[in-house]
Every structure is written in C-alpha cells, then in structure tokens.
A and B are shown apart, each in its own frame.
Chain A
C-alpha cells in the first residue's frame, strides 16, 4: 500500500519533500509484530513526556529568572501569582519524575526481552544516550529553583569531578565559573537545561530511525518471518498506545493534583544557603540507585568511578549477554535472575535514600566506652555503657547490593548465557500466538 496522493496540493509538496510518504510508510507499511504487549507502550509514553516537559518548560521560562537573588522568588511568583503557574510548575516537576518512571520501565522491558541484542545494539546505545542526557537535564533543572537541595545537590554532583586526578579541581572551577556553586553556575545550568531537551529530541529521532530499520522486538524475541506475523502500526498500535496513555495520564494527574510534592523534598522550599548544609541531603528519587553505589565505596575516586561505571556497563550489555535467545520467556535461569536484579535495583534505590552513617538493623546491649578509638578503663576493667552491640549498617547493605549489581551484569549474564538450556522457541510469532488458544499447548507455555 504505497502512498499515492490524490490531492494536487499534497502531490505538489510530496514531489518536493516526500514527508507525507514517510509518515504514511511509518504508520501503514511499517510492519509491527502482532503480539506486542503493554510493555511496548512505554516508548510512546516517553515521547509524550518529552513533549510535556518541553512545552511546560518553555512557558515556565517566560516567568523564571536565572539569578541567585531572584530565582527562588521567581519560582514562588510562578506558584502564587502567574495564571495557572502552580499547574505548569507541578506539571514540569512531577513530569520529570513520570518521565523517569516511564523510561526505567522501558529499559527493564528491554532487559527482560533481550531487545539490546543484535541487530538492535545501536538502538540500545541511542536509548542509553537519551537516558544520560535526561539525567543531566533533570539534574540541572533541579538546580534552577535555587532551594537548599538545589544548591547542595549541585555542589555534591559537580564535586564528583574533583575526584579526577590532577585536572579535577580545574574542571570543577570551570563547571562553576567560580570558587563555589554561584550565580555563574545557575546561569549556565539554565542555558543548558533549555538546550539539552532539544538535543534529546535529535537523539530520539535517531532512536526511532534505528527502530524502524531493525523493527520492533516482541515478547517471543523471534523475528517477524512473514506477513502472518505482523500488523500495521495504525490503527492497531495507535489505539493500544492511546489507551495506555489514558491510563498513564490518570496516574500522572493523581500525583499532579493530589500529591504534587510527594516526590519532591521539603528542603527545596528553603532558599539556598551556601553556609549551611541540610542534615540529610538526598538527590531526586531517580538518582538514588547511583547515589547508593557512590556512597558504598569508602574511596572518593573509586566511588565516582563505580557510579559512572554502573551506567557504562549497560553499553556493553549486547556483548556481555552470551545467549542467542532474546526473550526471558525461553530462558528459565535468566528469567529468575532478572527479577533478582530488578529487586537489587529497587534495593539500591531504597538505600540511596537512607542516611550514610545509620544502621538498617541493630541489637542493643552493654559496650565499652570508647574515646578516640581507645577503650576507657577504670580500676583495670573497661568502662561500659548502653549501646549498639551488633548492627547491620546501611553502608554494608549498600555494598552487598552494589556488588550484586555488577556481578549480575559482568559475571552472571555471560556465564548463564553459555550454560543455560533454553526452552524450545516457537517457529514464528503466529505459531506462538495461536498456541495460546489451544489447551494442549497451553501447558508447556505456562
């Protein structure tokens, strides 16, 4: 069904710029596997959220002032005085969180169904680049309201670069444009916060181009073999995605209208004070797993390297996973380890929000009195006091989870890929779909 315009105006344009044909091709001719589940909706939801962030961001920028003396007040002005300002700001702030939820689910979908494997390695890489750019954008956006968390988050994260030997300090003062996070920093972060989403748009176009070149993966991980296996994107998946969007918007609205500050931190409603660090600084929830990894390492450079390494290893995933089978449905061992890995990521997120020097569990009893690491004695016996005799520290838990994160990606994935005995693959997508309706085959598909 190729595109042949009837309308003469459309024809005139088409002969000069075949843009309608391109859209027509993407909607009607691009063959989509007929068995895509709702896990395939998160890609289009991410696209919608990118648009929401750009539209709400551009109008916020009409009222926001990027100056240390005015930034906090201008955000309060948006909240109190600007028509619907509260709505636009809450939409943008909660939108960032929703964007990350959607993208994380989209990524775990890829992990479960092996969507990063050949021939989709570049598609996976482009996705990871979008993820990294999103993190940079969200980090700089969070600095803009110039509250306490903005300021101290900016300080801690920019200081990560000071761990680089020799040139680290110069890089940090270059990032700041001064000797500490200050007005020059706020100004450039605003400039880059405005720019990066449009860079993301560019990468998204490449991401979709790569997608349309190799085609969508699907729950079986078996490629489309003939026409039986596919259906046109429109109307089948446009409708499915729209239904997904409607459900998603209900959840988004629930946060937006009923709990707009649930995912934020109250300290960011205190204006930035460069002379007082809040007692317990935490980044936004979507950075917590990486923050937990950073704090799990007792060495500064080591912590920074491991934190960036946690993202970098994902780029190597297509080569770390030795199994030729894509979908976890046919990989009994991988399937279980996938869920363990998911739980570890949730665990890291939780630990990233806990205090650095606390304990997750402790037993109380009498302990020797220590001063500067020396037990205090009285008449030849150690002085005792009420205290913690045994504790599982937050740091210990974070360390175990960090080790497992890397163990899964660097050791378990390659090894099980070599030894695991996969379950038999269906001959085609159609066969798999039809087998679902036959009670005989149901059993071995459970």
Chain B
C-alpha cells in the first residue's frame, strides 16, 4: 500500500482539510460579495432622512379628523368626542385580540394619532364605520374601534401609534 499524503488516524487527510477550508472561505467571500446587491434594495439615505412631520391641530373640530403624511404613510389625527373616548375606555381589555388600554394609545385622550394603515395588508381604513363605529377596512373587512384597536376581521394588530410629541398645545411632531 502506498500513500502519497499522510493519513491521520481517523482517515482525514491534509487535502480534505484544505478542500473544506478553501470551500468555506470561498462561501464567506461569495456571501460578502452578494451582500451589496441585496442591501441596495433597503431604504436609501434620503428616504430615511424624511423621518418627521409636524401637524397643526388648530381647526380640527371635535368629531373630525385629518390625514397627515409621515414617511409616505397616512397618519390619522382625530379630535375625539366625549362619547368616543368613553366607548374606547369602557372596553374589557382582556377580550381584545391585541389587548391594549385606550390610555396606552394616547397622550391626551381627545387626540388620537395613529398610522392609518390597516395592519392586515396595508389598505387605508375608512373612518366612522364598521361594527364598532371606529374604522373599517374595506379590503378584507377589518373592524377597528374608537381607539383604533382591532376588534373583528383578519388584521392581527391594533392600528399603530407612531412616536409623536406635543410641541405645544396645538402642534405635534410625528417621528
């Protein structure tokens, strides 16, 4: 029997090691080369820079709302009525699909600020509609209550509350 390469006791040769090492390193190299081609599709710097919007609350009457735009998405800014606030607060939270109290969803109860994008597949829900008199998404039938919480339909989550702060009594900054 002639062996040209030294064989270790478990039958692994130096050549086997070199194959694995070279193969492994090439895989790492290939992955590193592919990454820029994948990452280029993520939001670019200028898109990321558009990250805040300011909204003037003056002139939004009780019981009405406006739609602001933040990061290309609609944001509902609603001046809620006493009735709507009471209805939102009276709900038994434990029974909700995505349990959250109304308090956790507002800074000031009369102002409900939320991203107007259905958490199902992204349509824009219609105000003052549906079984809970909040919002109704016509695309696949999701019903949200007066706090924007999902109550019925395929959407899994409550309407998202964006990060925002009150600059003064009449102005907010979203983002």
A355 to B67 Cα, complex, angstroms: 26
Q: Shortest Cβ distance from B149 into chain A, in angstroms? A: 13
Q: Is A182 an interface residue (CB 8 A)?
A: yes
Contact call A299/B74, Cβ cutoff below 8 A: no
Q: B156 touches which one: A176, A277, A280, A300 (CB < 8 A)?
A: A300
Q: Is A25 an interface residue (CB 8 A)?
A: no
Interface residues as binary, A268-293 with B (CB distance below 8 Å gives 1, 0 otherwise): 00000011110111000000000000
A55 to B138 Cα, complex, angstroms: 38
Interface residues as binary, B102-130 with A (CB distance below 8 Å gives 1, 0 otherwise): 00000000000000010011111000000
Q: Considering residues B74, B120, B139, which has the most beta carbons from chain A within 10 angstroms of its beta carbon?
A: B139
Closest to B157 in A: A300
Q: Which residues of A contact B67 (CB under 8 A)?
A: 275
Q: Which residues of A contact B131 (CB under 8 A)?
A: 372-373
Q: Is A160 an interface residue (CB 8 A)?
A: yes
A275-B69, A372-B132 given; A155·B121 CB < 8 A: yes
Q: Is B59 an interface residue (CB 8 A)?
A: no
Q: Which residues of B contact A175 (CB under 8 A)?
A: 41
Contact call A356/B141, Cβ cutoff below 8 A: yes
Contact call B138/A179, Cβ cutoff below 8 A: no
Interface residues as binary, A51-85 with B (CB distance below 8 Å gives 1, 0 otherwise): 00000000000000000000000000000000000
Q: A299 touches which one: B44, B87, B154 (CB < 8 A)?
A: B154
Q: Which residues of B contact A160 (CB under 8 A)?
A: 121
Q: Shortest Cβ distance from B41 into chain A, in angstroms? A: 5
Contact call B154/A277, Cβ cutoff below 8 A: no
Q: B123 touches which one: A173, A177, A277 (CB < 8 A)?
A: A277
A152-B123, A155-B123 given; A180·B71 CB < 8 A: yes
Contact call B155/A300, Cβ cutoff below 8 A: yes
Closest to B70 in A: A179
Q: How many residues of chain A have a CB within 8 Å of chain B?
A: 39
A372 to B91 Cα, complex, angstroms: 10
B interface residue count range (under 10 / 10 to 19 / 20 to 34 / 35 or more): 20 to 34
A178-B43, A179-B47 given; A300·B120 CB < 8 A: yes
Interface contacts (Cβ under 8 Å), in number, total 93
Q: A156 touches which one: B43, B122, B153 (CB < 8 A)?
A: B122
Contact call A156/B139, Cβ cutoff below 8 A: yes
Q: Shortest Cβ distance from A61 into chain B, in angstroms? A: 21
Q: Is A15 an interface residue (CB 8 A)?
A: no
Closest to B120 in A: A300
Q: Is A439 an interface residue (CB 8 A)?
A: no
A155 to B118 Cα, complex, angstroms: 11
A160 to B121 Cα, complex, angstroms: 6
Q: Considering residues A274, A277, A357, which has the most beta carbons from chain B within 10 angstroms of its beta carbon?
A: A277
Contact call A179/B123, Cβ cutoff below 8 A: no
Q: Which residues of A contact B156 (CB under 8 A)?
A: 299-301
Q: Is B3 an interface residue (CB 8 A)?
A: no
Q: Which residues of B contact A158 (CB under 8 A)?
A: 122
Q: Is B170 an interface residue (CB 8 A)?
A: no
Contact call A356/B74, Cβ cutoff below 8 A: no
A274-B72, A275-B67, A277-B139 given; A156·B44 CB < 8 A: no
A-B contact pairs, 10 of them (CB 8 A): A152-B139, A173-B43, A178-B72, A180-B117, A274-B74, A275-B69, A275-B124, A276-B124, A277-B138, A301-B156
Chain B residues near A (Cβ < 8 Å): 38, 41-44, 47, 67, 69, 71-74, 87, 117, 120-124, 131-133, 137-141, 153-156
Contacts A156-B121, A184-B43, A274-B73 aside, 8 further interface pairs with beta carbons under 8 A come to: A157-B121, A159-B121, A174-B38, A180-B72, A274-B72, A277-B124, A303-B154, A355-B138
Closest 8 CB pairs of A and B: A179-B71, A357-B141, A180-B72, A159-B122, A159-B121, A277-B123, A356-B141, A156-B121
